[in-house]
Every structure is written in structure tokens, then in C-alpha cells.
Amino acid sequence: MESGFSRIAALAGGHAEARAIQVALRIGVFEILSGGPHTAEEVAAHIGCQARATMLLANALCALGLLRKDRATYSLDEAARRYLTRASPEYLGDMILFDAGLWEVWGRLEDSLRSGAPARVPDMFQSSREETARFIRAMDSLVRARGDAVWTAQHLELGFARTIVDLGGGPGTYLLEFLRRWPNARGAIYDLPATLTIAREILTSRAPELMDRIELREVDYRKDRLPGPVDVLFLSNIIHSEDETTNGALMRQCFEGLAPGGLLVVKDHIMDDALVEPAAGAVFALYLLLTTHGRDYSFTEVAAWMRSAGFAEIKLQPLPDPPFSSSLIIARRP
């Protein structure tokens, strides 16, 4: 009974831990401490906060295992240095700051439950450059920190492909890994205009040596016919933003956009038929309720759309959990 109480209490109070980390990241606590140990007074002076309040936050971060305290000084735990400082290649902070930006949206969950409608306009964060950049950099941050793109590139056999398209590819995090593994392939990102502007900045900075192999092309799959034919279409975290009708049409579009023998690869939370496992996908579906017209779908549902579009050899390949909670669905155009 006590363990049940502890579990429920921790779940219900999880907003406190989340907010402490989000705010500490936003005001610069981890960046200050990346330079070495500091007292709470020294941290407060750097970030423009009150010393006693900063001490309370730092103590909480120690309790959460992100900081260490030695007498009056605080320093970073190794996990915080790895995932919460900008100099780290595994920096998760952009994803955490994106979540922080949705704090008020989560406050309208009850409204969305009563209406069934999103709590914000489902525009894929295209309405302002600031929103677009925060969203796209968050997706890049999450994938790089967790290692999805590297694992996916290592476990997909794309040696046959001359053309690999990341549809809705955002920052191009996956495409870069595909092109690094398959040097004879050319790649493209098909996405919305505001997203492509941010993608170009990220790609030019991170992989200038690959830019002559990458096309950035404005494509709205809801309205535009997909250019093609290409050898591989890769869709990561796309179908969960759309309803069933849109996804069925998208699978037909993908079939038409592939060359014979081409592969469609869908990466997403792929649920069991009850839509409760993986647990991360079931919880994430509430975020989708708040921000999109979609949800997470089962393999049975996705395979049915693919089969109806004409695909064959449809198979499910789960990613190892932990650290991942996603799966690949791979299908071939005959």
C-alpha cells in the first residue's frame, strides 16, 4: 500500500520537479556551474536572482541528483553536465525549453478533454520564427541526446538507395546520419518553409561538408503531391500529428512518390492494439490532443493504411527500450 501511495504521489506531484529543471535551465544555473563550483550567492549574482531563493532551487536540484553540494558550494552532477550544458553534443536542453513553452497549454487539458479540440492552433509551430526555431531545435536536441538517429542509421539497410527523402524531416538529424553511413546516396528534406529556414541554419553549421548532397524542398504533404520517384521515404514522428483519414491519404501519397522496390520507413510510437503500451506513447497522446488532430497509432492501424495504399512486406522493428520508446514500420513498394 505504501509503494502505491508513493507512486501516485510522485506522479501527481511531478510538475514540481519538471518546473524546477525547466526554470533552472532557462535562467542559466547549469551553464554557470559548468565553469566550476559556485556558492548559491555567486550563482544568484550571475543569473540576477535572490540568493536565498537560489539556494532553495539549488538544494532541490541536489535532491533530484542534478547538482552536488559540498559545504556551501554547488557543482554539476555528470548527468547534468552531459545533458544540460550547451557545450555537450548530447544537450537535451532545447527539448526541455520547448516543453517549458507549453506549460500554459497543459493548463488547458480539461478544456481539450471536454471539447475534443486542441488547446492551441495545430500549425506545427509555423506562426513565428521564434516558435519554429524552438520546436525544430527541440526535436534535434531530443534525437541527438537519446541517440535515435545513430541507432536508426546503423540498423536500416539502405545501401541500395540513391535518393533518401526525410518527409517532414525538420532539422535533418536523421538524414545526416543516413548520408554519413551511405556516401553514395543523395538526400532531401521535404518540409514547410519556416522549418526549412531553421533546418538550413542547423545543417550549414553542423555538416557543411554534406550540404552539396542535401536538397531542401518546400512540400506540404497535406496539399502537395510528393516529388519523385525516390528510393526511400523516411517519416519520423509525422503520423502521430494527423488523423486517420489524413494518414491513409499520406500512405497513398508515399506509394506514388516511391520508385518500384522503394522503401517507406515510418518511425513513431507504435502502440499495441489496446493503445496503452508503450506507456510513453499513451501519455504522449495527451500532448497530441493538446496540439494536433492526431494521436499515437497501433501497428495494426498503420499496416492497414499501408496495405490499402499498395505496400507489401510490411514489418515492425521495435527499437530497444530503454532508451527508446519508438518502433520502425518498414514497407516496400512492389
| CA distances from residue 211 to 79, 146, 150, 189, 204 in whole angstroms, order as listed | 33, 24, 19, 12, 7
Residue 36 phi/psi, 5-degree rounding, is 135, 175
Quickly list DSSP for 302-319.
HHHHHHHHT-EEEEEEEP
Q: What percent of the chain has pLDDT over 70?
A: 99
Quickly list DSSP for 27-49.
HTHHHHHTTS-EEHHHHHHHHT-
Q: What's the mean pLDDT in 102-113?
A: 97
Q: What's the mean pLDDT in 3-29?
A: 95
Q: What is the pLDDT of residue 3?
A: 78
Q: What is the pLDDT of residue 2?
A: 59
Instruction: Check: CB of residue 258 under 8 Å from CB of residue 231.
Output: yes
Residue type, 102: L
End-to-end CA distance of the chain: 56
Instruction: Check: CB of residue 11 under 8 Å from CB of residue 58.
Output: no
C-alpha to C-alpha distance for 197 and 188, rounded to whole angstroms: 14
C-alpha to C-alpha distance for 228 and 255, rounded to whole angstroms: 10
How many other CB atoms are there within 10 angstroms of residue 214's CB atom? Answer: 22
The residue with cell 471539447 is: 115
User: How high does pLDDT run on average in the chain?
Assistant: 97
Per-residue burial over 114-144, b if 16 or more Cβ lie within 10 Å, else e, is eeeebbeebebbeeeeebbbbbbbbbbbbbb
| Whether the model pTM is above 0.75 | yes
Determine if the peptide bond prior to 323 is cis (ω within 30°): yes
pLDDT beyond 90 at 70: yes
pLDDT digits (tens, 9 = 90+) for 227-257: 989 999 999 999 999 999 999 999 999 999 9
**Residue 182 DSSP symbol:** -
- In DSSP terms, 38 is beta-bridged to 74
C-alpha to C-alpha distance for 8 and 14, rounded to whole angstroms: 10
Q: What percent of the chain has pLDDT over 90?
A: 99
Residue type, 196: L
**275: exposed, middle or buried (C-beta count within 10 Å: 0-12, 13-18, 19+)?**
middle
pLDDT beyond 80 at 193: yes
Ordered by where they begin, the domains of the chain are 2-88 (1.10.10.10), 110-332 (3.40.50.150)
Instruction: Check: CB of residue 329 under 8 Å from CB of residue 302.
Output: yes
